[in-house]
Chain A
Amino acid sequence: MVSKGILGLGGAAFGLILTAGAALAEPARSGGTLTAIVQPEPVILTAALNTAAPTGVVSGTIFDGLVDYDRDLKPIPALATSWETAPDGLSLTFHLRPNVKWHDGQPFTAADVKWTLENVWTKIHPRNQVTFGKVTGVETPDPLTVILRLGQPSPAILSSLNSNGAQILPKHLYEGTDPLSNPYNNKPVGTGPFKFKEWSRGNHIVLERNPDYWDAGKPYLDRVVFRVLPDAAARAAALEKGEAQYAPLSPVPLKDAARLGGLPNLRVETTGYEWLSPWLFADFNVERGPLKDVRVRRALAQAIDRAALARVVWFNFGVPATSPVPSTLTDFHAKDTPAYPFDTKRAEALLDEAGWARGANGTRFSLEIDYIPYGDDFKRTAEFLKASLRRVGVEANIRSQDTPSYTRRIYGDRDFDIAITWFAAFSDPQVGVTRAYWSASVGKNIPWTNGSGYRNPEVDGLIAAVQGEADPAKRRALFRRFQEIVLTDLPTLPLLELKFFTVEAVGLRHGARGDQVYGSFRDFRFDGPAPGQSRASAN
């Protein structure tokens, strides 16, 4: 049990909570096949090169990160056994786990970390170019030590080091190639608990147990099969029938989730998404029409009953948001920021004051709402907004389109009034929140950046300052000021903190880390007979 280390303790602690303690006495049951659902089908299987959710789900158990995150989003050891930041914040040292092997038998060393950082994270990774932007050099004094030299303190690095945030690629297979078109992107070689075996496109991805995994005795399962099931009703049927036992990332419509959770063989979990901390919001286009006026934006905010939105549209898989920094980010979320409680009278007064009196037909003005086409929930959010705005005399027209047309319209052509979308905040708002407000990305046709067109030099300055601030207290203060300003100017209206959910078999047991959705399946096991037990391999 020594080798379980800190992670095992964390997992056991949650196991205790989840299973009321009784299960701890049982020996870990080994073997069986876990059938999971991944949807849509991943593009490639290396999260270092594609940060989309389906890739993250599959890739997360083939690769390990330097660390994992617990439910308080604190790092826990994985490939790195320990790490320390220099007192001046200008260097970060990682001590790597010895005797870790890639799936092809080559040793995992500091050279892999250095190569991936220099060639992937800071060159092509969409988020890490900023996160690791202050790294001036990487030193590897011995094969198990990595030292990052930093031009400025970069505390956000420590929040992005799991296998999704900063996935390490095997240098010996990638060096000298174009990483984006390397064939190993489709047949990945990692260090994780499961090895890639087969990918039948449109069908399934099969992973097999890694017998040489560094965490001795793990993983418990023999095999993991990811099935591609494009239809939501078929996903629900497969789960209900037990053909699949694990389906992350809200695999069925919200109204089906309650029904499935009520079945004796299934449960619905909302833990494991803390590292993502998704938030739903509406971008106001501050560059055109009535929404240029902050009074109008505040009026529209007060016309929307966010508690009702959470209840009616999102079936309580979401809570009203008061800030772009979700409350799950306890270190950074600011309370007592400017609030916009639901108050239609106040909204109407503000609109009158802004010079938009009701016309002869009761309408003040009309505008266009576009929503991210990721399913009915977002469409119904748009319909909810339309109905809310009509009550205060604002007519809205809802437009539908596919994703590339949507991102082009919002982030390129900027031909919209209100855009509904969601971002992952991640565990440091520098990674997932500030991008919605940074002026440099306006109109550059870069998806999921600043959609409102908001330009505020003070906010830009704060965004730059948090990236280089080492003192946690000062950083918190900077983020607090940031939240106060953007909630005063209100270019973006935070609507809900979303709760993604996993549907899983009641017999499936695993610790719930804060990044479990993109984490490894090393702790997964079945109570009682496991599916596919008869084919269990000897090792």
Chain B
Amino acid sequence: MRMPAGGSAAIRRLAQMVSVVVGIAVVNFFLLHLAPGDAAQVLAGEAGSATPEYIAALRAQFGLDQPLGVQFAKYLAKVLTLDLGFSVRQGLPVAQLILDRLGPTLLLMGASLGFAVLAGGALGFVAARHAGRPLDTAISALALLFYATPVFWIGVMLIVVFSVWLDWLPVGGMAEIGTGRTGLAHLGDVLRHLVLPALTLALYYLAIYTRLTRAAMLEAYGQDYVRTAVAKGVRPRRIAYRHVLRNALLPVVTQLGLQLGAILGGAVLVETVFAWPGLGRLAFEALFQRDLNLLLGILLCSSVVVVLANLAVDLLYAVLDPRTARA
């Protein structure tokens, strides 16, 4: 906040962020109530049998018997006091349900995104430096293959090869149950379970970052300042790192910001295939179960993370390219 009017700009930015989040919450509430059926009906449906009294008892318990306006007022009052409410279906506070899934989600998304950015960036870097040559073609073809292959199919194939055939890694879940492992042993167990889902997800992201880095670097290579640097006799390796890569990072950071924003959404398909207890599955199941409190809570948290990730990206731009801070 080195800007002259730093204080008021920060306040303005904060007010903007809060109003965006509240706006999203309001839209979500009415949007979700457009879906046919409610949680009571879903529960009754799953029960395989029901009577009007049973459904009425459930509706009363869930507060679904009240007019929509009343439900909305209650919901808004809760959002403004940072209370995410109660999941009627799971019988637990929404905040607890989300917190329980937060760790696994961050672990999976962090591991796969981190791997994808580093490996994808490196592959893109190498490809750009060998543009048009066989190595570039090979890397681009590989990236395209990963990008075009459905995530769930890669996941199932990895399970078949590494779990069923080779028996190196577990099929799914996040840790072996009831072993009572602690400390390093537990960490090792979790990492063993993490490898396949993180790899599955990373291969998809990796393709994106490879293509993005390569394209951005090729664009930077065409810039005047690169030509100047070449003319000055700067060594190609130094040009690639200092002049080209640094400028090529801007679109990569933008992309990373977008994906970090979606991190709480989790990855429904990968979480489902590998029985990973993440937020994506929780949200997906909440939708089908019409557990609106839970779904609204997840969406609200996601919107907060999106807003914060945007802020972080803006600040990072200023570091990478000081010119944007003055814009």
Q: Which residues of B contact A (CB under 8 A)?
A: 35-38, 41-55, 57-58, 61, 89-92, 97, 100-101, 152, 156, 159-160, 163-164, 167, 170-174, 177-178, 272-275, 277-278, 281-282, 285, 288, 290
Contacts and interface: CB of A to CB of B under 8 A. Distances in A.
Given A234-B274, A403-B288, A404-B35, A129 B41 contact: no
A448 B49 contact: yes
Across the A-B interface, give the 9 residue pairs with the lowest CB-CB distance, nearest first.
A404-B37, A202-B277, A447-B45, A52-B46, A51-B47, A126-B50, A405-B36, A126-B49, A231-B273
B52 A444 contact: yes
A202 B285 CA distance: 10
Contacts, number: 167
Contacts of A88: none
A40 B275 CA distance: 11
Given A124-B54, A230-B275, A225 B178 contact: yes
Contacts of B47: 50-52, 126, 447
Nearest to A50: B47
A238 B48 contact: no
Given A230-B281, A233-B156, A185 B164 contact: no
Contacts of A243: 170-171
15 contacts: A40-B285, A123-B57, A126-B54, A127-B49, A201-B92, A231-B152, A231-B172, A231-B273, A233-B273, A237-B171, A241-B164, A243-B171, A408-B36, A424-B48, A444-B52
A200 interface: yes
Contacts of A445: 41, 55
Contact of A185 (B44, B91, B178): B91
B88 to A, nearest CB: 9
A201 B100 contact: yes
- Which residue among B49, B91, B156, B174 has the maximum number of chain A CB atoms within 10 Å of its CB? B49
A229 B177 CA distance: 14
B285 to A, nearest CB: 8
A124 B57 contact: yes
Contact of B48 (A33, A52, A227, A231): A52
A407 B173 contact: no
B233 to A, nearest CB: 58
Interface string A174-217: 00001011010110000000000000111110100000000000
Nearest to B44: A447
B50 A234 contact: no
B106 to A, nearest CB: 15
B54 A202 contact: no
Given A201-B97, A407-B37, A33 B178 contact: yes
Nearest to A35: B177
Contacts of B38: 404
Given A180-B57, A404-B38, A234 B172 contact: yes
B45 A448 contact: yes
A532 B89 CA distance: 33
- Which residue among B55, B58, B274, B275 has the maximum number of chain A CB atoms within 10 Å of its CB? B275
A65 to B, nearest CB: 17
A125 interface: yes
Contacts of A223: 178
Contacts of A408: 36-37, 41
B171 A238 contact: yes
Contacts of A233: 156, 159, 273
A84 B263 CA distance: 61
A439 B164 CA distance: 52
Contacts of B46: 43, 50, 52, 403
A445 B282 CA distance: 27
A473 interface: no
A408 B39 CA distance: 12
B288 A51 contact: no
- Which residue among B45, B47, B55, B101 has the maximum number of chain A CB atoms within 10 Å of its CB? B47
Nearest to A238: B171
A186 B152 CA distance: 32
B204 to A, nearest CB: 17
A228 interface: yes
A480 to B, nearest CB: 24
Given A125-B54, A405-B36, A446-B52, A230 B277 contact: no
A508 interface: no
Interface string A383-424: 000000000000000000011110111000000000000011
Interface in A42-84: 43-44, 50-53
B91 A181 contact: yes
Contacts of A202: 100-101, 275, 277-278, 281-282
Nearest to B54: A126
B90 A227 contact: no
- Which residue among A52, A186, A446 has the maximum number of chain B CB atoms within 10 Å of its CB? A446
Contact of A201 (B49, B90, B272, B290): B90
Contacts of B91: 44, 181, 183, 185-186
B42 A403 contact: yes
A523 to B, nearest CB: 22
Contact of B53 (A127, A129, A203, A241): A129
Contacts of A33: 178
Contact of A407 (B45, B53, B97): B45
A449 interface: yes
Contacts of B156: 231, 233-234, 237
Contacts of B170: 243
A109 B163 CA distance: 49
Contacts of B61: 178, 180-181
Contacts of A435: 49
Nearest to A230: B272
B107 to A, nearest CB: 14
A447 B171 CA distance: 36
Contacts of A506: none
B101 A407 contact: no
B97 A204 contact: no
A243 B177 CA distance: 11
A130 interface: yes
A240 interface: yes
Contacts of B152: 231
A404 B171 contact: no
Given A201-B97, A203-B275, A234-B273, 9 more contacts: A51-B48, A124-B57, A126-B49, A233-B273, A237-B159, A237-B163, A404-B42, A446-B44, A532-B178
Given A52-B47, A234-B273, A446-B44, A404 B36 contact: yes
A449 B282 CA distance: 30
A237 B164 contact: yes
Contacts of A130: 51
- Which residue among A130, A223, A238 has the maximum number of chain B CB atoms within 10 Å of its CB? A238
B167 A227 contact: no
- Which residue among B91, B163, B170, B172 has the maximum number of chain A CB atoms within 10 Å of its CB? B172
A126 to B, nearest CB: 5
Interface in A14-54: 33, 35, 40-41, 43-44, 50-53
